[in-house]
Amino acid sequence: MSSSFDIYEEGLVKSGGGDLKIAWHWVSSPTDLEDDARVVQAALDKRAAGRGFYRRSDLVPTDLLKQLPMIVLMDVIRDGEHQPFDLLIRLIGTDAEAYYGKITGWLVSKVPMREASDRVMAAATKIVESGRCGVSTAYGLTQGKEYLTVAASYFPFMDETGDEVRGLLIHINVTRGRPAEGV
C-alpha cells in the first residue's frame, strides 16, 4: 500500500493533495509526549524493566484505565499479500472509535477514511522500519469547519528478540480549537 504522505524527520508531512498538515518527531524523552501518552510510556517502561523494547505482554490494561478509550492496538501483517506490510486493527478504544468509526478487525488499507489511513500507514512505516517510538500531529478541519489537532503517539511491540515490530499501540489525543500560530 503506498501512502500519499511523505514524512520528513522533525518536520512537516506533505499531504497528497489535501490541506492537512502533519508534523512528525521521534520520542527521545517522556517530555516529547502528551500527558496521557507519557502515562502509557511509563506503564510500558515499568513492565519492560530495562529490556530496551516493548512486547505486547508489557501492556496491562489495568495500568491504563484512564487512557484506554483513546488507545488503538494493531498487528503488523507481513504475509506476502500486503506489501511491505499492512496493519490489522485489533482494538479501538471507545473515544477513538467516536472519531474513526467501528473499525476493529479491519485492515488499515481497507479503512474508507483514506486520508486518516494514509497518515497511519506513513507513520507506522517509520515505526516498523526503526522500532522506535514516534509522534505524528495532524491539523485540520472537520466537515463542520471545527479545528482539530490530533496527536498520535506510536509505541512498537517487538518480537521476543527485539528484532522485528509485530504490533503497535497508538495513543490518540484530540484537541479542539484553532492550532497555535505558525502551524
Q: What is the pLDDT of residue 26?
A: 84
Is 89 strand, coil or helix?
Answer: strand
pLDDT higher than threshold 70 for residue 86: yes
User: CA 46, 64, 71, 35 torsion: positive or negative?
Assistant: negative
Could you tell me the end-to-end alpha-carbon distance of the chain, in angstroms, rounded to an integer? Answer: 29
The more confidently predicted of residues 83 and 165 is: 165
Q: How confident is the model at residue 6 (pLDDT cuts 50, 70, 90)?
A: very low
Q: What nine digits make up the cell of 80?
A: 506476502
pLDDT higher than threshold 90 for residue 106: yes
Whether 139 contacts 19, CB under 8 Å:
no
pLDDT higher than threshold 90 for residue 60: yes
Mean residue pLDDT across the chain? 83
pTM exceeding the 0.95 threshold for the entire prediction = no
Average pLDDT score over residue span 154-174 = 95
Q: What is the pLDDT of residue 21?
A: 58
The more confidently predicted of residues 16 and 54 is: 54
Q: What is the pLDDT of residue 182?
A: 54
Q: What is the pLDDT of residue 23?
A: 77
Distance CA 103, CA 107 (A): 8
pLDDT higher than threshold 90 for residue 165: yes
The more confidently predicted of residues 14 and 167 is: 167
So what CATH class is 5-176?
Answer: alpha beta
pLDDT higher than threshold 90 for residue 142: no
